[in-house]
Amino acid sequence: MATIVQKFGGTSVATSGMRERVVGKVLACQSQGHDVVVVVSAMGRLGEPYATDTLLGLVNQAGTPSARDRDFVMACGELVSCAVMASTLRKAGLNPLPLSGWQAGIMTDNTFGDARITTVDPTYLQSLLKQGIVPVVAGFQGASSEGNITTLGRGGSDTTAAALGVALGAANVEIYTDVEGIMTADPRLVPEAKVLSFLDYGEVFQMASQGSKVIHPRAVELAMQRNIPLVVRSTFSDAPGTTIANAVLYENKRGQPVTAVAHILQVARVSIATPSDDGALELDIFSRLAEAGVSVDLINVSPEVKRFIIPEEAADKARAALRTLPLTAEFRCGCAKVSVIGTGMRGVPGVMSRVVAALREAGVRILQSSDSHLTISVLIDQGDVEAATQALHRHFGLSTE
Ligand code: ADP
Ligand code: ASP
Ligand code: MG
């Protein structure tokens, strides 16, 4: 008998009809002889009463919440969802037990809003499974050794599921969501995006890091460390979805350099002109930003100018961090980063020239670019993101079978 972790995202647990689908998935898994651990996200999206963004809005409107306050209220969304899901499962004749992240053995560091899991003690969950109980675990949260409730970063219920999968030695971690699997692009932006049946951990990690919100990058990282397959699939159909595993377990038959296109919205580009060879100033710029907790990306350093991008919401923090330095920083808000990703581009010449050609044809101006062995990223105006994503998707043959 294997243990399977089944995680259900916010839209999968939003209504009673949807929760009935969840019951069906749990029963189907049990009927195959498996032990099931359920992980749930908060119910619904912004505007719905117990959604994460709604709860955040509540404390933001009330006054000046601390990071600890925000985690405290955000964690409630998953707790409510857990109790509701457990009641639904009990009505269906199962024996569920709702658990907070901490009760499920998840300990984290003390970084509010983006805590990292430090340890998972599976002993209690294992004892529940032995008794035929279905643990229903609140995703996205843990507790620090200081005794604080912490959250794991937006989208972090995936991380909970993967961490529990690793700790329990699960055969599979199933991520149930509102799309049929991981697709060649976000279907909200590219209607002709296709579901990918098999993907390598490395590709999905890159996709998730470059903005494909369908799975959290830390969930991929955790599963990859122990080679636990992740399956991303729909709560609302029986389609097989996407299996994410080690590349050696399957043959990449696509033969294309690019597997998918991803995008990140609301980034700001910072350009700082510096007198040449002022190494001390260069160091000051990046250390001040690091001390202020501003993470930089798409970094381009030359003697005369330093360019990088930051999340738009961190622009005020970055301005304050740089204020006392002898320099002028130019902030360009309203940008987006679009990336093409694929293990097939490793060592293949001409991928950048195809990116440039596709974007040129679509009339999209590249403001900056960067690459790694699995990705090429370009910075563009946010207004161009749909045209750019669709053009790249078409140009790399992702719109056709
Ligand atoms: P959940 O609440 O189930 O965790 P999310 O909203 O976090 O759901 O993730 C699912 C959404 O991710 C989809 O509705 C889709 O719009 C978006 N998405 C972005 N990129 C991709 C992609 N490459 N493949 C599939 N979905 C994607
Ligand atoms: N509810 C949390 C969020 O909206 C975690 C998750 O859905 O995975 O970010
Ligand atoms: Mg999610």
Are 297 and 158 in a shared domain? no
**How far, in Å, from the CA of 234 to the mean position of ligand 2?**
17
| C-beta separation of 394 from 193 below 8 A | no
Q: Probe ligand 2: pick from 157, 175, 220, max atoms within 8 Å of CB?
A: 157
Q: What is the pLDDT of residue 252?
A: 55
* pLDDT for 295 beyond 60: yes
% of the chain at pLDDT higher than 70: 98
Residues 27 and 156 in one domain: yes
pLDDT at 248: 61
For atom 9 of ligand 2, the residue with the nearest CA is 154
Per-residue model confidence (pLDDT) at position 288: 95
**Can you tell me the mean pLDDT for 118-140?**
98
The preferred substitution site among 173, 186, 235, 340 for testing ligand 1, maximizing ligand atoms within 8 Å of CB, is 186
Q: What is the mean pLDDT of residues 356-382?
A: 96
| 155 in contact with ligand 1, CB cutoff 6 A | yes
Look at ligand 2, atom 5, and give the residue with the nearest C-alpha: 155
> Which residue, 21, 293, 161, 260, is CA-closest to 152?
161
Q: What is the mean pLDDT of residues 148-164?
A: 98
CA distance 74 to 312: 22
Give the CATH number for residue 126.
3.40.1160.10
**Averaged pLDDT for residues 80-84:** 98
Q: Which residues, other chains included, contact 98 with Cβ-Cβ below 8 Å and sequence gap of 6+?
A: 79, 82, 83, 85, 86, 136, 138
Are 39 and 148 contained in the same domain?
yes
On whether residue 234 sits in a domain, the answer given is: no
Looking at the fold, whether 267 and 373 belong to one and the same domain comes out as: yes
Ligand nearest to the CA of 199: 1
Residue 335 domain boundaries: 260-400
Domain's final residue, options 178, 207, 232? 178
Task: Look at residue 158 and tell me if it is in a domain.
Answer: yes
**How sure is the predictor about 113, in pLDDT bands with cuts at 50, 70 and 90?**
very high
Same domain, 168 and 265: no
Q: Are residues 174 and 296 in the same domain?
A: no
In a domain, 235, yes or no: no
Q: Which residues contact 248 (CB under 8 A, 6 or more apart)?
A: none
Q: Per residue in 4-52, pLDDT tens? A: 999 999 999 999 999 999 999 999 999 999 999 999 999 999 999 999 9
- What is the position in ligand 1's atom list of the atom closest to the CA of 260? 23
Domain boundary among 178, 200, 226: 178
CB 138 near ligand 1, within 6 Å:
no
- Determine the atom of ligand 2 nearest the C-alpha atom of 77: 1
Q: Hey, which of 117, 140, 220 would you mutate to test ligand 2's pocket, going by the most ligand atoms within 8 Å of its Cβ?
A: 140
Ligand 1 lined by 215 (C-beta under 6 Å): no
Is 184 a member of any domain? no
Among 52, 70, 74, 159, say which to mutate for ligand 2: greatest number of ligand atoms within 8 Å of CB: 52
Q: What is the pLDDT of residue 195?
A: 97
Query: Can you tell me which atom of ligand 2 is nearest the CA of 152?
Result: 5
Residues whose beta carbon lies within 6 Å of some atom of ligand 2: 9-10, 41-42, 52, 77, 139-140, 154-158
24 CB-near residues (< 8 Å, 6+ apart): none
Distance 157 CA to ligand 2 centre (A): 6
* pLDDT for the residue 249: 55
Please report the pLDDT score of residue 255 as a whole number.
73
Q: Is there a single domain that holds both residue 171 and residue 284?
A: no
Provide Rg for the chain, Cα atoms. Answer: 22
In the sheet with 242-245, reading across from the earlier edge strand, the strands are 96-99, 134-138, 35-40, 3-8, 172-177, 230-234, 242-245, 198-200
- 305 CA to middle of ligand 1, Å? 37
Burial class (CB in 10 A: 0-12, 13-18, 19+), 292: middle
Which pLDDT band, with edges at 50, 70 and 90, does 281 fall under? confident
CA of 228 to the centre of ligand 3 (A): 19
Q: Is residue 206 part of a domain?
A: no
At 212-258, the pLDDT tens digits run 999 999 999 999 999 999 999 999 999 999 999 987 655 555 678 99
Q: How many domains does the chain have?
A: 2
Residue 291 lies in a domain: yes
Residues within 5 A (CB) of ion ligand 3:
9, 155
Residue with CA nearest ligand 2 atom 8: 155
| Averaged pLDDT, 305-315 | 96
pLDDT number for residue 303:
87
- Ligand that comes closest to the CA of residue 139: 2
Instruction: Quickly state the pLDDT bin for 275 (edges 50, 70, 90).
Output: confident
287 C-alpha vs ligand 1 centroid, how far in Å?
Answer: 34
* Pair 276, 367 in one domain: yes
Select from 178, 196, 211 the last residue of a domain.
178
Residue 385 binned pLDDT confidence (cut-offs 50, 70, 90): very high
On average, the pLDDT of the chain sits at 95
pLDDT band at 282 (very low <50, low <70, confident <90, very high): confident
Write the CATH number for 290. Answer: 3.30.2130.10
In a domain, 69, yes or no: yes
Kindly indicate the confidence band of residue 399, based on its pLDDT and cuts at 50, 70 and 90.
confident
- Tell how far the Cα of 79 is from the centroid of ligand 3, in angstroms: 16
The two three-digit tokens of residue 310, written as one number: 């930051």
| Residues 49 and 166 placed together within one structural domain of the fold | yes
Strands 305-311, 329-341: parallel, antiparallel or unpaired by DSSP?
A: unpaired
Whether 171 and 264 map to the same domain: the answer is no
Same domain, 166 and 285: no
In a domain, 193, yes or no: no
Q: Which of 6, 52, 214 to mutate to test the pocket of ligand 1 (most atoms within 8 A of CB)?
A: 214
